[in-house]
Amino acid sequence: MKKRIALLMMAAALAVSATACGSGGDTSDGGDKKGEAKTSEVANKDKPLVWFNRQPSNSSTGELDKTALNFNKDTYYVGFDANQGAELQGTMVKDYIEANIDKIDRNGDGVIGYVLAIGDIGHNDSIARTRGVRKALGTAVEKDGNINSDPIGTNTDGSAKAVKDGELEVNGKKYVVRELASQEMKNSAGSTWDAATAGNSIGTWSSSFGDQIDVVASNNDGMGMSMFNAWSKDNKVPTFGYDANSDAVAAIAEGYGGTISQHADVQAYLTLRVLRNALDGVDIDTGIGTEDEAGNVLSDDVYVYREEERSYYALNVAVTADNYQDFTDSTKIYEPVSNQLDKEKNPTKKVWLNIYNAADNFLSSTYQPLLQNYDKLLNLEVEYIGGDGQTESNITNRLGNPGQYDAFAINMVKTDNAASYTSLLNQ
């Protein structure tokens, strides 16, 4: 049996296609010596599954992948409200410009120029943030009934088609707002949301039109901080990100313009909590909208659940110079859901969980540490797998024996690729 599992694992590791080892494999008997963390007899395809951070969806159209979201009756997605957050980010940038109008236009040409770092052109959250900034600053152009979120390359002369020049009137004076440049920050190996690429880009942009850049906007803090450290801090150019990672929040004291908390503390809890509830066979709302026996409960100002999308969305909060002191530790668990569950009533279960890119700033410095704080409280023994951010197979190769686990939490490289994972559970 051992040999057989080893062979199966090897086959999975070598296989180009996830289905290479055929369907005949009997599910593991799950025999576990540790007693408590015994795996179930449940078929892999019926085990609880949560997608998180990257919602199964079509990367060109954004359409949700309902098949993946309804893989079985215990399947959910946990993320955050991308549109509400994007709107907050755009408004935060606009408010900052208005409040600092006397000094924002660095070269005094009447044009407020900004550059934008785009995370992943096929990721709904990234698209929403690009749209949010363009909408608030008046630079948005419609395409197929929605705001165009395409990168523009450089646009110092205002001729780009995917954006237009905006206009802002403050204290009776009119200013032009121009997106001077934007780019998807993808490195040569294929990693998106790539901080190093953003740091290089601001170097290129600033050396050719640096004095025109009055604001730096970024789809996330990883890229935002990279640009801040490489250029904008020294040049006193306000830089705005997203995620409220601890380093970005601390940088607000040094001139970082602001960020958005996507309430990762609530998301990380929900990610594991829905699995816990499904494993316990209790109402899915337990410890979420309905207080559990330990006293854990979330109020409805921090999340929404949309049944038709099988999705939980945390709500976002703007973090600026006014309130950043409350957000200095992004890995701190959320107080209303910080109570330990009873080991007898909620016995230890095993969860397989992957982070699509071990080098992603948000996931590695904020989300995973939060998960690691909650897993103990929820009596879940979680195996954390860190991907390379480039290929799905780098991760699926490490799901060689799903029979060893009671539940799965999945963070895909690409939002189209849910089937790479579910096909392994269907075998």
Strand, helix or coil for residue 413: coil
Q: For ligand BGC, give the closer residue by CB, 12 or 355.
A: 355
One-letter identity of residue 313: Y
Least distance (Å) from ligand BGC to the CB of residue 415?
9
**Neighbour tally for 73: CB within 10 Å:** 10
Least distance (Å) from ligand BGC to the CB of residue 326?
19
Q: Which stretch binds ligand BGC (CB under 6 A): 11-19, 142-150, 170-178, 357-365?
A: 357-365
Q: For ligand BGC, give the closer residue by CB, 119 or 199.
A: 119
Nearest to 184 by CA among 219, 225, 137: 219
Least distance (Å) from ligand BGC to the CB of residue 367?
8
Cα–Cα dist 80/260, whole Å: 11
User: For the chain, first and last CA: distance in Å?
Assistant: 18
- Spatial neighbors of 272 by CB under 8 A, at least 6 apart, are 351, 371, 374, 375, 378, 380, 382, 409
For the window 29-58, what string marks contact with ligand BGC as x by the rule CB under 6 A? ------------------------xx----
How many Cα atoms are found within 13 Å in the side-chain-facing hemisphere of 26? Answer: 7
- Spatial neighbors of 78 by CB under 8 A, at least 6 apart, are 50, 51, 52, 53, 267, 270, 271, 274, 311, 312, 314
Q: Which stretch binds ligand BGC (CB under 6 A): 227-235, 248-256, 318-326, 358-366?
A: 358-366
Q: Which stretch binds ligand BGC (CB under 6 A): 21-29, 109-117, 279-287, 355-363?
A: 355-363
Q: Which stretch binds ligand BGC (CB under 6 A): 170-178, 248-256, 307-315, 356-364?
A: 356-364
Between residue 119 and residue 158, which ones bind ligand BGC under the rule CB under 6 A?
A: 119, 125
Q: For ligand BGC, give the closer residue by CB, 28 or 220.
A: 220
Contact with ligand BGC (CB under 6 A): which of 90, 222, 257, 386? 222
Q: For ligand BGC, give the closer residue by CB, 175 or 374.
A: 374
Interface with ligand BGC, residue 194, by CB under 6 A: no
Quick one: tokens of 424? 């392994």
Q: For ligand BGC, give the closer residue by CB, 198 or 230.
A: 198
Q: For ligand BGC, give the closer residue by CB, 286 or 365.
A: 365
CA 100 and chain centroid, separation = 30
14 has which bridge partners? none
Interface with ligand BGC, residue 396, by CB under 6 A: no
Q: For ligand BGC, give the closer residue by CB, 82 or 215.
A: 82
Cα–Cα dist 313/300, whole Å: 11
Distances (CA, A) of 311 to 52, 60, 70: 9, 20, 10
Least distance (Å) from ligand BGC to the CB of residue 125?
5
Q: For ligand BGC, give the closer residue by CB, 160 or 244.
A: 244
For the window 235-274, what string marks contact with ligand BGC as x by the rule CB under 6 A? -------xx-------------------------------
Least distance (Å) from ligand BGC to the CB of residue 120?
7
163 has which bridge partners? 140
Between residue 81 and residue 120, which ones bind ligand BGC under the rule CB under 6 A?
A: 119
Cβ–Cβ under 8 Å, residues 237 and 377: no
Contact with ligand BGC (CB under 6 A): which of 360, 375, 392, 416? 360
**Phi-psi region for residue 172, left (φ > 0), alpha (ψ -120 to 50) or beta?**
left
Torsion sign across C-alpha atoms 69, 375, 395, 11? negative
Counting residues that bind ligand BGC (by CB under 6 A) gives 12
Cβ–Cβ under 8 Å, residues 260 and 244: yes
Beta strand 75-80 with 49-52 is parallel
Q: At what angle do helices 124-137 and 82-99 cross, to 10 degrees?
A: 30
Task: Catalog residues that contact ligand BGC under the rule CB under 6 A.
Answer: 53-54, 119, 125, 193, 220, 222, 242-243, 360, 362-363
